[in-house]
Amino acid sequence: MGRASRQCDCVYSFGVEEAPLTKFELLVGASAFWKTAEADIAGARRRVLVQAMTWEGDAAGLAVADAVTASRANDRRVLVDDYSRLVISDRWVGGPPEKLEPTLRDELAATHAMFASLSAAGVGVRRTNPVGPALINYPARNHKKLIVADDAAYIGGINFSDHNFAWHDFMLRIEGAEVADWLADDFAATFAGVPRAGSIAGPSLSLYSMDGRSNSVIFAQIAERIAGARQEITVISPYLTFPVTDVLAAAARRGVRVRLITPWASNKPTVRDYLFSVAERSGFEVTPLAEMIHLKGILIDGEQLMVGSTNFDFVSLAAEEEYLAVVTDAALIADFQARIIVPVLASAMPMEGCKVSGIAAVRASLALRIAQCFAVSRRGAPRTAVEWAS
């Protein structure tokens, strides 16, 4: 289909014809996501482009790598962030390998072997944003998750590792040549070491690519949408922080119902302590969950849904490369409510067991504000892509 308008190199409009030329599908859970994505990869003939922040040499990660290796597409390339050389199974492995537990050491070796095998099979393999000496550029991660298989594309929050596959999460499948082409162009820019900011807008979907340097522009749009809420905002995220919590608090003060769904069993307890304490102060309705989730979304008045790779936290909005989708498609929003919001609300744990002490709240807030200063200071960090083995 032809592009309706072109405002610059990376901003398009699409789907203006009467026929629905772009299809959306919400894939809830890693099994549903991977069953569909694996089939798309197997059927692709032109391109298979895969990107993740975490991609490990375990069962889940190897399954993705095997699918890419077996693909008969002409263009097979993968991107993984430098994070995967430093964190395995949600644990730090950046020190001397001989000091690691045997299981972590083995998985780290398996991860390196997996990417070496991909390279040997003719797949282009690069890692994004090396952290640099003394981890100086650690906040400047590429946090995107993406698959492009011919004209099918996937964005969302699922990384390619066993522990990520175990967390409750979802991916958004978008089928349409124009969106897939735009995402493929974005991937190619990152693969070349020159990531860019941009957007593509249509009648029921707008996509944003954040480059880690100009994310404040996208945050301003997020804030504007939240500020326009009339009745209710539902947020689901394990890692929500300022500045988004500040905008949500302002909405609550003017009478908007703000409902927060987040895990008490968080893998980042400092963020949890901050979030529960600020929610109490701000008048949010909190639904705590007994198990870790990795779901991220903001639903405004049941009419606008913001999803993607972003955690809606200060790190992603300050220095990380991210994808954000704003969906107004009524059927997809209804599906999100029915298959994600309703079930997690039904699994809520009692709020009485989720209290944060005043000392813990102050400690968490101080720690995150210090981390924010570091993240903001690295906004201008080098954005590069290098060979995995370099």
What pLDDT is stored for residue 88 in this prediction? 97
Question: How far apart, in whole angstroms, are the C-alpha atoms of residue 139 and residue 155?
Answer: 21
pLDDT tens for 171-223 read 999 999 999 999 999 999 999 999 999 999 888 999 999 999 999 999 999 99
Q: Is 134 exposed, middle or buried (0-12, 13-18, 19+ CB in 10 A)?
A: exposed
What domains can be seen in the chain, in order of their start residue?
Answer: 18-196 (3.30.870.10), 206-377 (3.30.870.10)
Q: Which amino acid is at 73?
A: A
Measured at the CA of 53, the angle between CA 296 and CA 270, to 5 degrees, comes to 55
What letter would DSSP give residue 345? H
Which pLDDT score, from 0 to 100, does residue 21 have?
A: 56
pLDDT at 95: 87
Contact 145, 153 (CB under 8 A): no
Enumerate residues 6+ apart whose C-beta is below 8 A from 223.
243, 244, 247
Please report the pLDDT score of residue 19 as a whole number: 35
Q: What are the pLDDT digits (tens) for 101-140?
A: 999 999 999 999 999 999 999 999 999 999 999 999 999 9
- Torsion angles phi and psi, residue 103, rounded to 5: -65, -40
How do strand 232-236 and strand 257-263 relate by DSSP bridges? Answer: parallel
User: In the prediction, which pLDDT does 13 show?
Assistant: 41
Write the DSSP assignment of 9-77 as a string of letters: TTEEE---SSS---EEEEEESHHHHHHHHHHHHHH-SSEEEEEES-B-SSHHHHHHHHHHHH---SEEE
3-class DSSP assignment, residue 287: strand
What local confidence, expressed as pLDDT, does residue 203 receive?
85
Question: Which residues of the chain register pLDDT less than 70?
Answer: 1-21
